Chains A and B, each alone.
Chain A
Amino acid sequence: MQNIAWLNDLKIRGGWGKLGSISNTIATNQYYLYSTTAANAAYDINGTSNSSALGIYESQFGNPVGTWEKDVISNVGFDATILKNKLDISIDWYTKSINDLLFQAALPSTAGGAAAPYVNAGDIKNTGIDAAITYHGSVNKDFKFDITGTITSYDNKVVSLPAGIQYYDINSSGSTRIGAFSRLAPGHAVGAFYGYDETGLWQSQAEIDAANQKAQQATGNPNAVYQDAAAPGRMKFRDVNGDGHITSDDRTFFGNPNPKFTYGLNIGASYMGFDFSMFFYGSEGNDVINYVRYWIDFPQVFDAAIGKEAATNSWTPTNTGAKVPILERAANFSNTTTFNSYYKESGSFLKCKSLIIGYTIPSASLRKIVSTGSGFMYRELTCLWSPNTQDWIRNCRVQHLAQAEASVLTRVNYPSNQKNYNIGLSLSF
């Protein structure tokens, strides 16, 4: 191996590990517990109308036989430095399967209202690749640069759920208004969006009549309609199971909040006393639910102020290419009462997260003031550029759900990624 000129360093590595975890559960999981919360248990047994008697109710079922969940992580990869130390490559393939995952059991309501315990059931699997490539370049003695590109991809799937459970509906912000956004089911990603698939808007009464006629033929019912409350300018849903009309069986998985890959690019350069670094970060192939649209596209929702798109470019009989449905007062199945893919947007983004320009004051000139030391002046900018125009990408308004990691944009999240301009001086002696 000594005489392979292009190879400076090579390391091949692999690993397998099993890790017990109880972070997914609560400390009192094994106990049957009771509570006295007044709203849920108090009752005015004496009919006084101004006081109530304290009540007790069973608040939690216990699971005395619960145990660790097991994370099995395997990875294979290599690190290499080649071409006269100019190129560093690191690639890692990994798979992480979580077995006996601690899931909150879904008990039927006939068990009572107490919270279900966490039980060891269900498997989730993640597989992916991490890669990083760095190029160390120099133009001459004074001008040097480093470029690092990283990429991470992963595939996430629910393998199985506790016996007898087909799915869990995951509630999030907005679910009290239009139901769960996400469903956890075997074969689909954690956090996958689930609901009616909106394929556009109804353009005319003739189109609706034709669909109703087909529904009547398919169902044999002369009064059948294709979709409840269909009208020109309202949403049209896809007949997923092909039975001729829209029922709750036509809900489907229509989006995945997990990106296909995320990537980064780090550029660093130095010329004499000046140095420069810049960091780009991006995500590709993930979907988000823009719940803000529920508030700004529909005036029937709490009489909230409508957005610019709804105000200037909503559907009218003459503006038939619009995305935003017809502005109206009615609330029904075909506009605001169901969760559907109307709220889905692409979550792919690229942004420049930071840019730093610095100048190192030569030690020699500082020595006139202090005996030894060095100085570093810098200017830093963060979150300064993105090719994406969506407000939420620029301002990072994404809420991650505790269990599902689904991405939902809400109106309540304060922008977390402000633009920062810092000027500083760093001195050391």
Chain B
Amino acid sequence: MKRLQYKFIIPSTLAFLALVFACNKSFLDKPALGALSQATLANKTGLDGLLIGAYSMLDGQGGAAGLSWGSAESNWVFGSVDADDSYKGSTPSDQGDIVPLETWALSTSGNSYVNQKWQALYDGIQRANEVIRVMRLATGVSTADTVQYKAECLFLRALYHFEGIRMWGPKIPYVDENITPLNNNVNVPNDKDITASVEADFQYAIDNLPSDYKNISPVPKGRANKWAAKAFLAKCICSSISTPMPEQCLQTSLTTEPLLTVINMRWDCMKPTLMQPPRTDQKAYLYARCP
């Protein structure tokens, strides 16, 4: 009996236990090794990187088909080329999809530039949202940092949405941080005017961003600050007026705070050269640019 116990029962029991405890279902659940996942990014370094990633869509390079020169905020195609500021260049058939835009003769859908722009903008919006989503899981981030991250993200999100409004009008999908494939709600309808939501995002940025970053070295000149947010809110208000003629725009928006402060601040910058107070006529509209 004793021999049997040593030779058979004990080893087989051990083997049985090893099998039962070694191979539960989570044994097969392995994280992706050597790759960045949400878990590895849920900290300050990860959030900083994701935020830079959201800024980087300003150059339009990214998304499913975004190209830096085709879908950037600088709008070479939709601004410079369409306004006769520059020519498409090259031989006639090179990037032929610019031709109907350049000649204002877009008659068929499926123009690659329009698609690229759309994809790049929503990629930018979702990159900004992703910072907020990961931030909610992050550890070691102070409350002040949280507010700063959120304010920059909402600024970028509003900026990309506003760019979309300028391209396609105010009825485009408004995508906030709750829209994800995981929540299965990415088919966002485009049935309502989203201007109010965009203005609310800009307003959050105005309320929570600092006026400048001079206390940081080197100074992050490219980071959104309160004035950038105010200028864009002013621009957004201007463009939401049904007939955006400079005079009417000015009459309406001069009664709103953002544009006035931007004009005044712009004046502060220019005072040494202009030597006269800002005029409250239509030319002041031209000052409503980001300082």
B44 to chain A, nearest CB (A): 13
Known: A34-B41, A112-B123. A57 touches B50 (CB 8 A): yes
Q: 10 A–B contact pairs at CB < 8 A? A: A34-B35, A43-B52, A48-B218, A54-B52, A57-B50, A109-B119, A112-B130, A164-B187, A301-B93, A302-B91
Q: Which residues from chain A contact B52 at a C-beta distance below 8 Å?
A: 41-43, 45, 53-56
Q: Which of A177, A302, A329, A333 makes the CB contact (< 8 A) with B100?
A: A333
Q: A41-B56, A46-B219 are in contact. Are A331 and B99 (CB under 8 A)?
A: yes
Residues of B within 8 A of A336 (CB): 92-93, 96
Of A25-33, A68-76, A83-91, the one contacting chain B is A25-33
A43, B56: Cβ atoms closer than 8 Å: yes
Please report the total number of B residues contacting A with Cβ < 8 Å.
63
B173 to chain A minimum Cβ distance, whole angstroms, is 5
Q: Which of A55, A179, A300, A331 contacts B49 (CB 8 A)?
A: A55
Is A111 a contact of B181 with CB atoms below 8 Å? yes
| Stretch of B3-11, B108-116, B235-243, B254-262 at the chain-chain interface | B108-116
Q: What is the CB-to-nearest-CB distance from B50 to chain A, in angstroms, rounded to a whole number?
A: 5
A33 to B53, CA, bound (A): 14
Q: Once the chains bind, are A300 and B92 in contact (CB under 8 Å)?
A: yes
> Of A40, A113, A177, A337, which one neighbours B99 at CB under 8 angstroms?
A337
Q: List the B side residues contacting A298 at CB < 8 Å.
A: 93
Number of interface residues of A (CB under 8 A): 53
Interface contact B62-A337, CB-CB below 8 Å: no
Bound: A338/B99 CA distance, A: 12
The yes or no answer to A61 lying at the interface (CB within 8 A) is yes
CB distance from A385 to the nearest CB of B (A): 38
In order of increasing CB-CB distance, the 9 nearest A-B pairs are A112-B126, A113-B123, A47-B221, A337-B96, A55-B52, A56-B49, A331-B92, A113-B63, A55-B53
Q: Smallest CB-CB separation from A34: which chain B residue?
A: B36
Min Cβ gap B110→A in Å is 5
Is the CB–CB distance between B93 and A331 below 8 Å?
Answer: yes
| 8 A Cβ contacts from B87-127 to A | 90-94, 96-97, 99-100, 105, 107-110, 112, 118-120, 122-123, 125-127
Inter-chain residue pair count (beta carbon < 8 A): 180
CB-CB under 8 A from A179, the residues of chain B are 110, 112
User: For residue A418, which residues in chain B have a CB less than 8 angstroms away from its CB?
Assistant: none
Task: For B97, list chain A residues within 8 Å (CB).
Answer: 337
Judging by beta carbons under 8 Å apart, are A111 and B180 in contact?
yes
B93 → chain A, closest Cβ, in Å? 4
- Among B168-194, those with CB < 8 Å from A are 173, 175, 179-181, 186-188
Contact B110 A329 (CB under 8 A): no
Does B277 make an interface contact (CB < 8 A)? no
Asked if B220 is an interface residue, CB under 8 A from chain A, the answer is yes
A contact residues vs B (CB 8 Å cutoff): 28, 31-36, 39-48, 53-58, 61, 107-113, 116, 164, 177-179, 228, 246-248, 298, 300-303, 329-333, 336-338
Q: How far is the CA of A413 from the CA of B49 in the complex (A)?
A: 41
Closest residue on chain A to residue B175 by CB atoms: A110
Contacts of A48 in B (CB 8 A): 218
13 additional A-B pairs beyond A40-B62, A57-B62, A109-B122, beta carbons within 8 Å, are A28-B35, A33-B36, A40-B61, A43-B58, A45-B52, A45-B55, A55-B49, A55-B55, A56-B49, A58-B130, A300-B92, A336-B92, A337-B97
Q: Interface on chain A toward B: helix, strand, loop, or mixed SS?
A: loop
Neighbouring A residues of B123 by C-beta, 8 Å: 109, 112-113
CA distance A301 to B91 in the complex (A): 6
Residues of B within 8 A of A (CB): 31-32, 35-38, 41, 46, 49-56, 58-59, 61-64, 66, 68, 90-94, 96-97, 99-100, 105, 107-110, 112, 118-120, 122-123, 125-127, 129-130, 173, 175, 179-181, 186-188, 218-223
On chain A, the residues within 8 Å of B94 by CB distance are 301-302
Given A55-B53, A109-B64, A247-B107, A28 and B32 touching (CB < 8 A)? yes
The reply to whether A58 and B181 contact each other, CB–CB distance below 8 Å, is no
Q: Is the CB of A329 within 8 A of B112?
A: no
Cα separation A112 to B131 with both chains bound (whole Å)? 13
A23 to B116, CA, bound (A): 30
List B contacts of A177 (CB < 8 A): 93, 96
Does B223 lie within 8 Å of A113, measured CB to CB? no
A residues in contact with B54, CB < 8 Å: 55, 57
Cβ B53 vs Cβ A109 within 8 A: no
Chain B residues in 8 Å Cβ range of A116: 181
With a cutoff of 8 Å between Cβ atoms, the chain B residues found around residue A40 in the complex are: 53, 56, 61-62
Q: Which residue of B lies closest to A250 (CB)?
A: B108
User: In the complex, are the beta carbons of A228 and B93 less than 8 A apart?
Assistant: no
Q: Of A58, A108, A247, which contacts B108 at CB under 8 A?
A: A247
Partner among B58, B127, B173 whose Cβ is within 8 Å of the Cβ of A112:
B127
Tell whether, in the assembled complex, residue B119 and residue A113 are in contact, meaning their CB atoms are under 8 Å apart: yes
Residues A42 and B64 in contact in the complex (CB < 8 Å), given A57-B50, A108-B187, A179-B112 = no
A340 to B49, CA, bound (A): 44
CA distance A179 to B111 in the complex (A): 9
Which chain B positions have C-beta within 8 A of A338? 108
Query: Does A47 contact B62, Cβ atoms closer than 8 Å?
Result: no
Residues in A neighbouring B64, C-beta threshold 8 A: 109, 113
User: B159 CB to closest chain A CB, in angstroms?
Assistant: 14
